[in-house]
């Protein structure tokens, strides 16, 4: 895809573009977490008994766990009893059947956010606007814990693709949910996954049947609205043998003074010859220039290449959050399976990011590719933490890792902690990392041709990230470029 030109890039603005609040009635639980809260959540969603028990089991196990203690992140401890675990806008009590039934206030919100829901609206029954080309993205919108509108249901239904909120899938396809929920990220996996398993609110469920190539890109937008509501999405994507799906995740949040918690779990299952491509352009509120406010983003994302020749790719552009802690991972169980991780993590002001990936090689002839680009500016701190593990059974495993850091200014930090644990002598593993800065020569060359410093830095950073942006679906690539610009404002003085 082509890079956005200088003209296309958004002019840097002082205000965070998504910093506003929607005035909609919401039903919110008082803060606190105990068994009753969990039963309440389960009852509100009308869940079957097995799922309520599953949640409670997770909750009891979570109580035995301790929060992880990473040497590189510094943040005020989260008081888990001081958060409300459920918030649903009231007008969703019965669920919309079409966009017409969606609260117009909400629709206006999404328009402000710039997501293409209205483009889908044209196909969903609203009078089409001849000037707007139809988009091929089906959007399942999550608004403060409840999925709002799922469009394109018909086209997907024709292909046999199931794309719906997980709360719905629990009732319509219980056998699939039961089989795969927690199979990739077990309840006991880590502290945040444990919490999520107990209180997860909603999220996407996707099932692609055998041999089907999903006819469009699937997408979900998140939003955190109310004060002190942690966001606990749960996503489960299953690609059956020979199928193919590309999924986009993008998020945004309003300005808040208190830190808000986001502890999602994403599970991907790719069976034989299947391919899942999962892309994230993340735009959580990062905190003001003094590091106040902002989202705590502790996410567990993992995919299993369960069958031979399966392939899972994670592509992410992370620019938001006050604190980011996420390691999208791939377990390469099937022979000849492939895992990929392409990431750009940008931190500015006082953000902190500790992110990376884990590639676990178990089958034979497995391959993994990691390209991680970190950009640090201001007083921020960005760490890549990765693990490449080759088990004794993983003959002829291949890994190539490239980590590059770009530092802007002399007060930020960029770190690389790659763990390589190899137990099979036929493996070939190559890891390279390098650090650089925006060079004075590069800047001067741009300036001499009339480009101002901030634009020049943008261009150089975009070039630095090219390899990763290339992997993003078209819709996201442009957004990614704009995001970097906005996030870098004020970084070069």
Partner 1 sequence: MADLEPIEKFDLPDWLNNTALAKDAVGRYEFALKRPARRELWKYTPARQIIDLRRLPATQPLLSGHEQAGITVTASPACLDLADLVSIQRAPEAFAQLCSQPLLHIAVTADLTQPVTLHHQGNSSPVIIDVASGVRMTLTEEYDNDCDQQQTMWLRLGTKSEVTHARNTFSGAALHWQFVSVQVQANGRYRMHNHALASKLRRQDTQIQLIGSGAHADLNSAVMVAERLNLDQQITIEHASAHTHSRQRVHNIVADRGKSTFNGRIHIHEGAIKSDAQLSNKNLGLGANATINTKPELEIYTDDVSCSHGATIGQLDNNQLFYLCSRGVAPGIARRLLCEGFLQQCVDGPLAEIAGPALVAPLHDMGMA
Q: Give 178 or 400: the residue with its C-beta nearer to partner 1.
A: 400
Residues numbered 102-161 forming contacts with partner 1, rule: CB under 8 A = none
Cβ 106 to partner 1, closest distance in Å? 43
Q: Which of residues 51-110 bind partner 1 (CB under 8 A)?
A: 69-71
Q: Map tokens 């089409």 to a residue.
A: 128
Taking the complex as a whole, the smallest distance from the CB of residue 241 to partner 1 amounts, in Å, to 31
**Chosen residue from 20, 50, 75, 419 binding partner 1 by CB under 8 A:** 419
When binding is defined by CB under 8 A, the residue of 405, 458, 462, 487 that contacts partner 1 is 405
**Interface with partner 1 (CB under 8 A), residue from 2, 66, 154, 425:** 425
Cβ neighbourhood burial of 76 (10 Å; 0-12, 13-18, 19+): exposed
Using the rule CB under 8 A, give the single segment among 95-103, 150-158, 317-325, 405-413 that binds partner 1: 405-413
Provide, rounded to whole angstroms, the least separation between the CB of residue 413 and partner 1. Answer: 5
When asked if residue 213 is in the footprint of partner 1 (CB under 8 A), the reply is no
Residue whose CB is less far from partner 1, 160 or 413 = 413
In the bound state with partner 1, the residue whose beta carbon lies nearer, of 335 and 404, is: 404
Q: Is 300 exposed, middle or buried (0-12, 13-18, 19+ CB in 10 A)?
A: buried
| CA–CA gap between residue 96 and residue 106 (Å, rounded) | 12
Residue in 428, 444, 447, 452 binding partner 1, rule: CB under 8 A: 428
Query: To the nearest whole angstrom, how small is the minimum distance from the Cβ of residue 420 to partner 1?
Result: 5
CB of 463 to partner 1, least distance (A): 17
Pick the closer one to partner 1 by CB: 51 or 491: 491
Stretch that binds partner 1, among 231-239, 265-273, 425-433, 443-451 (CB under 8 A): 425-433
User: Of all residues in the chain, what percent are helix, strand and coil, respectively (each to 5)?
Assistant: 25, 35, 40
Sort 44 into a burial class: Cβ within 10 Å, 0-12 / 13-18 / 19+: middle
- Strands 260-262, 137-143: pairing kind: unpaired
Distance, first Cα to last Cα, the chain: 31
CB 292 to partner 1: min, Å = 23
Parallel/antiparallel/unpaired status of strands 244-252 and 217-223? parallel
Tell me whether strands 265-270 and 234-239 are parallel, antiparallel or unpaired: parallel
Hunting for tokens 């509100």 — which residue is that?
Answer: 44
Query: Binding string, 19-58, against partner 1, x = CB under 8 A?
Result: ----------------------------------------
CA 157/CA 480 separation, integer angstroms? 31
| Under rule CB under 8 A, residue 415 binds partner 1 | yes
Least distance (Å) from partner 1 to the CB of residue 65? 16
What is the DSSP annotation of 162-217?
EEEEHHHHHHH-HHHHHHHTTTSS-TTS-HHHHHHHHH----EEEEE-TT-B-SSE
Closest CA to 391 of 365, 370, 363, 368: 363
> 311 or 415, CB closer to partner 1?
415
Does residue 409 bind partner 1 (CB under 8 A)? yes
CB of 436 to partner 1, least distance (A): 8
DSSP string, 387-452: EEEE-TT-TT-EEEEEEEEEE-SSS-EEEEEEEEEE--TT-EEEEEEEEEE--HHHHHHHHHTT--
Least distance in angstroms from the C-beta of 399 to partner 1: 9
434 binds partner 1 (CB under 8 A): yes
Comparison of 439 and 447: residue with beta carbon closer to partner 1: 439
Does 172 interact with partner 1 (rule: CB under 8 A)?
no
307: helix, strand or coil: coil
Residues contacting partner 1: total by CB under 8 A: 37
Q: What is the Cα–Cα distance from 268 to 280, expressed in whole angstroms?
A: 14
Q: Where in 435-454 is the site for partner 1 (CB under 8 A)? A: 435-438
Q: Tell me the window of 26-34, 224-232, 409-417, 459-467 that interacts with partner 1 (CB under 8 A).
A: 409-417
Q: Taking each helix axis as running N to C, give the angle between helix 35-44 and helix 49-64, from 0 to 180 degrees, rounded to the nearest 10.
A: 150
Residue in 430, 445, 466, 470 binding partner 1, rule: CB under 8 A: 430
Report how far residue 332's alpha carbon sits from residue 1's, in angstroms, rounded to the nearest whole number. Answer: 29
Q: Which residues bind partner 1 (CB under 8 A)?
A: 69-71, 392, 405, 407-438
């Amino acid at each position: 895809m082509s890079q956005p030109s200088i003209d296309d890039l958004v002019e840097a603005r002082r205000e965070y573009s998504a910093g506003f609040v929607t005035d909609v009635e919401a039903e919110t639980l008082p803060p606190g977490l105990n068994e009753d809260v969990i039963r309440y959540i389960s009852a509100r969603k009308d869940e079957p008994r097995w799922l309520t028990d599953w949640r409670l089991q997770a909750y009891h196990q979570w109580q035995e766990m301790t929060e992880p203690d990473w040497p590189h992140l510094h943040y005020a401890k989260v008081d888990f009893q001081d958060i409300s675990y459920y918030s649903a806008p009231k007008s969703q009590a019965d669920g919309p059947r079409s966009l017409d039934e969606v609260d117009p206030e909400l629709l206006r919100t999404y328009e402000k956010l710039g997501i293409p829901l209205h483009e889908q609206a044209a196909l969903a029954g609203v009078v089409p606007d001849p000037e707007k080309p139809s988009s091929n993205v089906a959007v399942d919108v999550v608004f403060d814990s409840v999925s709002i509108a799922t469009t394109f249901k018909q086209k997907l239904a024709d292909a046999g693709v199931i794309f719906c909120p997980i709360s719905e899938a629990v009732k319509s396809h219980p056998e699939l949910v039961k089989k795969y929920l927690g199979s990739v990220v077990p309840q006991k996996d880590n502290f945040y996954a444990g919490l999520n398993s107990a209180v997860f609110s909603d999220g996407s469920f996707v099932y692609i049947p055998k041999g089907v190539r999903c006819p469009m890109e699937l997408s979900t937008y998140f939003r955190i609205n109310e004060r002190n509501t942690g966001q606990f999405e749960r996503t489960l994507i299953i690609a059956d043998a020979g199928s193919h799906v590309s999924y986009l995740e993008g998020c945004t949040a309003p300005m808040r003074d208190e830190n808000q918690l986001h502890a999602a779990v994403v599970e991907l299952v790719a069976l034989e010859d299947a391919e899942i491509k999962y892309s994230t352009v993340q735009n959580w509120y990062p905190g003001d220039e003094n590091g106040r406010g902002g989202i705590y983003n502790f996410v567990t994302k993992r995919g299993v290449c369960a069958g031979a020749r399966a392939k899972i790719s994670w592509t992410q552009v992370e620019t938001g959050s006050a604190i980011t802690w996420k390691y999208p991972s791939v377990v390469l169980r099937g022979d000849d399976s492939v895992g990929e991780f392409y990431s750009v993590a940008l931190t500015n002001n006082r953000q902190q990011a500790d992110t990376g990936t884990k590639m676990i090689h178990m089958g034979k002839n497995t391959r993994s590719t990691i390209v991680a680009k970190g950009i640090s500016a201001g007083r921020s701190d960005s760490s890549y933490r990765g693990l490449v593990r080759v088990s004794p059974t993983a003959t002829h495993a291949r890994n190539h890792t490239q980590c590059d850091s770009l530092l802007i200014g002399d007060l930020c930090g960029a770190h690389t902690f790659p763990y390589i644990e190899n137990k099979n002598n036929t493996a070939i593993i190559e890891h390279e990392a390098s650090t650089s800065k925006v060079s004075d020569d590069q800047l001067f060359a741009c300036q001499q041709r009339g480009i101002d410093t901030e634009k020049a830095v943008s261009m150089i950073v975009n070039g630095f990230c090219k390899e990763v942006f290339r992997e993003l679906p078209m819709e996201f690539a442009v957004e990614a470029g704009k995001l970097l610009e906005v996030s870098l404002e004020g970084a070069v003085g």
